[in-house]
Chain A
């Protein structure tokens, strides 16, 4: 249903044939001007500023010379940036997939009209009310081999139990995924649950009459109906993947070594700690370009092509 309204709004604004009288739109347009200006000056302006700086040799203070692609050449041979980029992919795929699957299962589970639904909903949504910093510190303690889970299980008598992912270079990135899913699954659940509540009960009755098993009903009938909710959840999760910074700083500090570095941390460290504005902005620009490359086909498919078809 949400798709229908969104599309109607989109076409209503864009189709010249259906343009409303100027007088009616004027107050609304005036009200939007400050926001539009802020978006243009602050967001777009800062973006252009960042891109411009990435072609300079700025260090502590911005400088306006032009060194071509030198910073980008440095960037692609920089171990730490390469690892950061790989980590974003690993974290992004696992985190989004994990949140969606777990969130969907939780939503279906709560949708069974279980007793104490309100309590369950609160419990599952609770992690989301905590900041990434708190999440990171809590999980750091919990996963620390000398303090948390490993020690607990060993103290219970299983002296061979080992769970040292947090201090293991190969596995540390997955501890971030675990903490991230713990944090984000509840929100996904809330969004999908809202969608589930909008699904017509008659569909369920009809499926029962036809002898469709429950798992098939959810997978083939409900899930496609939930598409807009899934898209919303995915976009929200994707945003937290791109700006992932505080969780890493609080939980691993990018270590062990450089095993859990992420691009946002690379940018922050180079802008402020290492007095290397140019390299930091070059990394930021590459992140921006990547995001644009990923979402451009989606925007095209959703807004440009669908309009052309009509």
Chain B
């Protein structure tokens, strides 16, 4: 129950902060889970921008998305909401809207022409009943493959373009004594890898049918079975120390050249940057399969409040977050790309530019599981995927059965 004590310690800290800064005008208390070095540097960009406009930013960072969201919901239900709170782009805040706990920012969205600037999946994930209820602040691509350029050059191999190719290349790398795929062996990352295979080999439609509409027929299709078999073969390309490993440790295996490839969202870039490496030189990033990018990200929502000062702060915040310069500075630190596609990204790194270029074509934009699936169904799928991944004797057919059960029973 360590999270609880940490949580209450944070609450205490916030209470103390509130006590001392109560005299300031337009005080904004912001709840988020950006606690790592790169992340807190990123959120400071928002804080500085808001402070420059004359407001007071009260930072309430809680480690771990789950803990932070639980704390936010508890405080909203308890009648003491923060001014602004972070969620992932998608369905996580659906019920808060249904219960009238969030305000809409449609007026600001209208004035800022958000609908013309952002990719459609992100807009749809933030709009309910024709109104913006959340401010998207970034886009994370989730199915990137990071690779060590030197490892591939030394082995005389090219980074694979498709998943069947990846299996062949992987076997060759393995014969050379290199870990082909560095995986953080935790259910979340096992699911993320599966999503990459599903969208890269099965295609965007199949991905949407499985996670979005839970089409049982699609799960029983030959194509899905093919995806499951490919994913099953990848079990042999991972080292035995993988189960339980953190993703950043997996990324560092690629950084140090012990492993060749690592599938992750673009937040993994932070590890490479921290190790002093440059995109396109020591490491590369590519999308394996047919080039579709699974996109999610973060949003801020504004809880309903009676406090006039907080209401004013909310209006101000909503505008500050999407200022082009703030967007660029924030996303450089965060590793994501600006949610506004009109921002000039030429000063960003090679991977971010690639991401931006891919997303220019709407056909390449695929909604992440957080956007099209409920947390509950994603969790049920994750249970099925992690069982399949970790039980080498389980057949693709048995896995399909588990997926079908998950589709039928999850709410």
Contacts and interface: CB of A to CB of B under 8 A. Distances in A.
A273 B380 CA distance: 12
A79 interface: yes
Interface in B298-355: none
Contact of A59 (B69, B187, B239, B411): B411
Nearest to B374: A275
Contact of B375 (A61, A79, A255, A274): A274
Contact of B95 (A59, A74, A256): A59
Contacts of A133: 2
A256 B2 contact: no
A257 B389 contact: yes
A246 B1 contact: yes
A245 B1 contact: yes
B95 to A, nearest CB: 4
Given A79-B383, A79-B402, A275-B375, A61 B409 contact: no
B187 A61 contact: no
B252 interface: no
A270 B240 CA distance: 29
Interface string B52-87: 000000000000001101100100010000000000
A246 B389 CA distance: 24
B187 A255 contact: yes
B305 to A, nearest CB: 18
Given A60-B96, A256-B185, A258-B387, A167 B66 contact: no
A167 B376 contact: no
A169 interface: yes
Label chain A's interface by main secondary structure.
Answer: loop
Contacts of B130: none
A61 B95 CA distance: 7
Nearest to B101: A61
Nearest to A264: B1
Contacts of B73: 60-61
Contacts of B187: 253-255
A142 to B, nearest CB: 13
Interface string A78-108: 1110000000000000000000000000000
B409 A59 contact: no
B77 A61 contact: yes
Interface in B196-250: 239-244
Contact of B379 (A57, A252, A274): A274
Given A74-B409, A145-B241, A272-B66, A246 B92 contact: no
A146 B70 contact: no
Contact of B243 (A147, A167, A273, A275): A167
B51 interface: no
Contacts of B405: 77
Nearest to B76: A61
B9 to A, nearest CB: 15
A276 B376 contact: yes
Contact of A255 (B94, B240, B374, B386): B386
Nearest to B246: A253
Given A79-B383, A131-B2, A276-B376, A253 B244 contact: yes
Contacts of A140: 244
B395 interface: no
Contacts of B390: 169, 255-257, 259
B186 interface: yes
A275 B391 contact: no
Contacts of B1: 245-246
A146 to B, nearest CB: 4
B383 A258 contact: yes
A192 B111 CA distance: 74
B99 interface: yes
A175 to B, nearest CB: 11
**Residue among A59, A147, A253, A257 having the largest count of chain B Cβ atoms under 10 Å:** A257
Interface string A223-263: 00000000000000000000001100000111111110000
Interface in A150-171: 164, 166-167, 169
B375 A80 contact: no
A257 B387 contact: yes
A245 B240 CA distance: 25
A246 B242 contact: no
A111 interface: no
Interface string A37-48: 000000000000
B242 to A, nearest CB: 7
B340 to A, nearest CB: 29
A50 interface: no
A266 to B, nearest CB: 10
A273 B379 contact: yes
A252 B386 contact: no
A57 B411 contact: yes
B244 A252 contact: yes
A279 B410 CA distance: 10
Contacts of A164: 240
Given A169-B390, A272-B66, 16 more contacts: A59-B95, A59-B374, A59-B376, A60-B73, A61-B73, A74-B409, A78-B409, A146-B241, A147-B241, A167-B244, A255-B390, A257-B389, A270-B379, A273-B379, A275-B92, A275-B376
For the complex of A and B, the 5 pairs showing the least CB-CB separation, nearest first, are A257-B390, A146-B241, A256-B243, A274-B379, A60-B95
Interface of B: 1-2, 66-67, 69-70, 73, 77, 92, 94-96, 99, 185-187, 239-244, 374-376, 378-379, 383, 386-387, 389-391, 402, 405, 409, 411
15 contacts: A74-B409, A146-B240, A164-B240, A167-B240, A169-B391, A245-B1, A252-B244, A255-B185, A255-B243, A257-B387, A257-B390, A272-B67, A274-B376, A275-B95, A275-B375
Interface of A: 57, 59-61, 74, 77-80, 131, 133, 140, 144-147, 164, 166-167, 169, 245-246, 252-259, 269-270, 272-276, 278-279
